[in-house]
Amino acid sequence: MDKPVILQMGEYPAWDETPLNARFDMRRIFDATDADAFLAEHAPYARGIATRGELGASRAVIDACPKLEIVSVYGVGYDAVDLDACRARGIQVTNTPDVLSGDVADFAVAMMLAQSRGIVAGDGWVRNGDWTKRGAMPLQRRAFGRRAGILGLGRIGFEIAKRLSGFDMKISYTDVAPKHYAQDWTFVATPEELATQCDFLFVAAAASRETRHIVNGDVLAALGPDGMLINVSRASNVDEDALIAALSDGTLGAAALDVFEGEPALDERFLSVPNIMLQPHQASGTVETRKAMGALLRANLEAHFSGKPLISPVSEVAP
């Protein structure tokens, strides 16, 4: 029997590529020099799309695949998949929730600690000889015992809050409604109010049209010159122009970002604004998590093409 044709939007580690190629006829659009010509040749046969969180699948790609049945995302975020296009044609969408929450939360907390205690700067201080020439590093700010705010108390936000509890922090959060599993933490109605009540603002909300620029200039001003913004969600949740302005004029104290509009390219002004830590979208990037994400991506494709229930369907588009 012919293997189902899958349009592959981005590369996976070898431990996923081998089993994917054994079971499916993978057509790698990211290797093509002319993506439009590639689509014209291969998309008519594609019954599935395998993509990554940050790459998704646009309406143009979905429309080019008349036989499309499923879009399987390697990532929890599916904001880059055109859900309206999928819904209109009854195309299933799957993602990889849960398996990455612990690593993403670890990374968010690591960025908070590294940025507040000057750990990257400290490494440079030793390497470039400042320690011997200039003496001790400038003093940094404490993390434990301060106030944390979580914007979006979903799976990842919950794991962040759980970890921060160990730092004796006062934890507040905002979401569409209070969460029954957050008895020890304080619900706050708006992002701006949350920002006034915290020193570290963690952005962990799933991105959507509604959350675009949910962290705007007013939220950053409320976070203030002693505050730090940490974003491990999607760049679209933060108004980058407002963030650059707030860091440049000292309205906001510091930021740590794992995600950028248009990544891997980024607004060049980020390279020169003060007090910012830049990371290459690597919060879920451990061997353990990426293996689990790959296994779940494949399990969803396998389930679909064997007529079994999907393991982790995106409920917003489920028929």
- Positions marked active-site: 234, 263, 281
Rounded Cα distance, 262 and 235, in Å: 9
Minimum distance, C-beta of residue 11 to ligand 8YV, in the bound complex (Å):
9
Q: What strands lie across the sheet with 147-151, from one edge to the other?
A: 186-187, 170-174, 147-151, 200-203, 228-231, 254-257, 276-278
**Pick 13 or 44: Cβ nearer ligand 8YV:** 13
223, 242 in Cβ contact below 8 A?
Answer: no
Closest CA to 188 of 204, 207, 175: 175
**Pick 11 or 36: Cβ nearer ligand 8YV:** 11
**Pick 100 or 169: Cβ nearer ligand 8YV:** 100
**Stretch of 68-76, 85-93, 237-245, 310-318 contacting ligand 8YV, by CB under 6 A:** 68-76
**Cβ neighbours for 311, distance < 8 A, ≥ 6 positions apart:** 94, 296, 299, 300, 303
Minimum distance, C-beta of residue 297 to ligand 8YV, in the bound complex (Å):
10
240, 267 in Cβ contact below 8 A?
Answer: yes
Closest CA to 285 of 104, 28, 74: 104
Number of residues near ligand 8YV (by CB under 6 A): 10
Minimum distance, C-beta of residue 293 to ligand 8YV, in the bound complex (Å):
7
User: Residue 67 forms beta bridges with which residues?
Assistant: none
In the chain the first and final C-alpha atoms are separated, in Å, by 28
Minimum distance, C-beta of residue 314 to ligand 8YV, in the bound complex (Å):
12
Query: What φ, ψ does residue 262 adopt, rounded to 5°?
Result: 75, 15
Pick one of 29, 49, 100, 201: the residue that binds ligand 8YV (CB under 6 A): 100
**Pick 96 or 115: Cβ nearer ligand 8YV:** 96
Minimum distance, C-beta of residue 100 to ligand 8YV, in the bound complex (Å):
6
53 binds ligand 8YV (CB under 6 A): yes
User: Residue 256 forms beta bridges with which residues?
Assistant: 230, 277
**Stretch of 46-54, 161-169, 236-244, 297-305 contacting ligand 8YV, by CB under 6 A:** 46-54
**Pick 94 or 284: Cβ nearer ligand 8YV:** 284
Task: Tell me the residue nearest to ligand 8YV as measured from the CB.
Answer: 75
**Stretch of 51-59, 63-71, 116-124, 135-143 contacting ligand 8YV, by CB under 6 A:** 51-59
Query: What φ, ψ does residue 236 adopt, rounded to 5°?
Result: -65, -20
Pick one of 7, 24, 54, 215: the residue that binds ligand 8YV (CB under 6 A): 54
**Pick 107 or 200: Cβ nearer ligand 8YV:** 107
Pick one of 117, 147, 162, 281: the residue that binds ligand 8YV (CB under 6 A): 281
Closest CA to 45 of 77, 4, 101: 4
Rounded Cα distance, 272 and 132, in Å: 26
> What residues between 69 and 88 interact with ligand 8YV by CB under 6 A?
74-77
223, 198 in Cβ contact below 8 A?
Answer: yes
**Footprint on this chain of ligand 8YV (rule: CB under 6 A):** 52-54, 74-77, 100, 281, 284
